[in-house]
Structure formats: structure tokens, C-alpha cells
Amino acid sequence: MKPAEKKLAAMLLRMAADTYSNHGCNDMPREVIAKFTPEEQAELAPVYNEFMMDDDPDHEGDTELRSTMDWLWMDILAKKLEQETA
């Protein structure tokens, strides 16, 4: 991706995160998690944990993807894209 594309993607993800965070249920659908192999899930879990520990130092990390919040993933990915374009 070109830097401008990453910047746009981050902006759109932030907009989506704001919208999704106001939904009644913010859990990422199980169908989404099921599309990732156990190895991919193990790769993603520490990313989520790192983000959560930045916000809450007492957060105990999960070793697998479970019922994580969809809007938080949007926020995490937006942050990573922003860091790549900075």
C-alpha cells in the first residue's frame, strides 16, 4: 500500500470504529474469528493483548482470539497504519 492509501484506510477504520463502538453488541462475530487458522489466531492474540495492556496494565492476556470487540480491532489496525505513515 502507498502511504496515502494507508492514511485513508486508517481514517476510514477510525470512522468505522466510532460507529461500531455505539452498537449494542461489540463482539467480533465468531464467523470472522473462524476464518483464521489457529496459527493466525495465535499471531493476532498478542496484538490485542498489547493494545489492551496499554490501556489497562492489569489486563491478563489471552492466548487465543475469543470474544474481542470489533471496534477495538478497527482502532488497533488504524493505529498501526498511522504509525507506518508517520
pLDDT (tens digit per residue) in 25-34? 778 888 988 9
Query: What is the model's pLDDT at position 4?
Result: 95
pLDDT (tens digit per residue) in 71-81? 889 999 999 99
Q: What is the C-alpha separation between 26 and 18, in angstroms, rounded?
A: 11
